[in-house]
């Protein structure tokens, strides 16, 4: 992946560059320590919450713990390279809390037939925090490539977890199509690397993302008529296809320009 680069040792740098490199390593270590401390607390809280919601069943609790630790582990590896600040700030803390909530949803999915009220409550809480992290990062001047990627991946897994949970309800397995677009796009980028190109900010993309998550939350309602659930899936899927098509066309034009 283009986001990952080979490590550069200070031995290969000029003295001034070596000093800057050493300072950057120090910044990375401090930020990483802060991140891992918060991640540990959130992972414990998420696992405890899942245990309580699932009647202290082992499999759901372990699933939450594993997903939380795995997600935080990948994020920590990316943080050391792409967060050029001495501190994380509130933005990363908010994104980490959102990941903890998503990990609880993963545990409830493993539990099978989870409480719709619990799923909806957790999902609404996670959705309410979406966007807060970005605003905090800009306010504290702590924007980073790490923060943007972290937020995007949490959103992607959030949608996939909700889609899998929705598949247990009135919409059935067809609901999964609302959680897969991001991963299908990523898979296509492996075949056509130009799909990894930068994209301009687009308001309609953000709106459709929010609509997607709201729809997935609505699909958790057990009393929703099948026809209504399927209508929601079809409508939102069409919007997602349009949004991704716009991005693909833009990337194609940029490639041939």
pLDDT of residue 11: 38
Residue 219 makes CB contacts below 8 A (sequence gap 6+) with 162, 166, 169, 170, 171, 175, 229, 232, 233
Only one residue has tokens 């080979």, namely 6
Mean pLDDT of the chain: 86
Structure tokens at 225: 């008529």
| Per-residue confidence in pLDDT tens, the chain, 257 aa | 333 333 333 334 344 333 344 344 444 677 788 889 999 999 999 999 999 999 999 999 999 999 999 999 999 888 877 777 767 778 889 999 999 999 999 999 999 889 999 999 999 999 999 888 778 878 878 788 888 889 889 999 999 999 999 999 999 999 999 999 989 999 999 999 999 888 888 899 989 999 999 999 999 999 999 999 999 999 999 999 999 999 999 999 888 86
Are 105 and 165 in contact by the 8 Å Cβ rule? The answer is yes
Are 209 and 154 in contact by the 8 Å Cβ rule? The answer is no
pLDDT digits (tens, 9 = 90+) for 78-107: 887 777 776 777 888 999 999 999 999 999
Distances (CA, A) of 84 to 29, 92, 207, 243: 11, 13, 30, 32
pLDDT of residue 81: 79
Are 79 and 32 in contact by the 8 Å Cβ rule? The answer is yes
pLDDT of residue 67: 97
Structure tokens at 216: 């997935």
Report which DSSP code applies to 113.
S
Listed residue (186, 5, 1, 133) closest to 80, CA to CA:
5
pLDDT of residue 17: 38
pLDDT of residue 29: 74
Phi, psi of 39 (to 5 degrees): -60, -40
Helices vs. strands in the chain: H and E counts, helices first: 9, 0
pLDDT digits (tens, 9 = 90+) for 180-190: 998 999 999 99
How long a stretch of residues is the chain?
Answer: 257
């Amino acid at each position: 992946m283009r986001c990952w680069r080979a490590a550069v040792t200070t031995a290969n740098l000029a003295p001034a560059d070596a000093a800057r490199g050493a300072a950057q390593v120090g910044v990375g270590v401090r930020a990483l320590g802060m991140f891992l401390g918060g991640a540990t607390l959130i992972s414990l809280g998420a696992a405890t919450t899942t245990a309580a919601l699932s009647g202290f069943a082992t499999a759901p609790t372990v699933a939450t713990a594993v997903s939380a630790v795995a997600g935080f582990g990948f994020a920590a590896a990316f943080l050391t390279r792409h967060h050029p600040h001495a501190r994380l700030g509130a933005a990363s803390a908010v994104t980490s809390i959102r990941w903890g909530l998503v990990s609880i949803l993963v545990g409830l999915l493993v539990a099978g037939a989870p409480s719709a009220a619990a799923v909806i409550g957790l999902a609404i809480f996670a959705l309410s925090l979406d966007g807060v992290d970005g605003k905090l990062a800009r306010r504290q001047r702590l924007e980073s490539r790490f923060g943007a990627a972290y937020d995007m991946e949490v959103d992607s897994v959030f949608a996939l977890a909700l889609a899998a949970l929705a598949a247990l309800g009135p919409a059935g397995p067809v609901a999964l199509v609302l959680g897969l677009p991001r991963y299908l796009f990523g898979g296509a980028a492996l075949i056509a690397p130009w799909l990894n190109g930068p994209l301009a900010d687009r308001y309609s993309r953000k709106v459709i993302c929010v609509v997607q998550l709201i729809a997935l939350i609505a699909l958790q309602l057990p009393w929703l008529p099948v026809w209504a659930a399927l209508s929601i899936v079809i409508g939102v899927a069409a919007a997602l296809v349009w949004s991704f098509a716009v991005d693909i066309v833009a990337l194609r034009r940029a490639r041939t320009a």
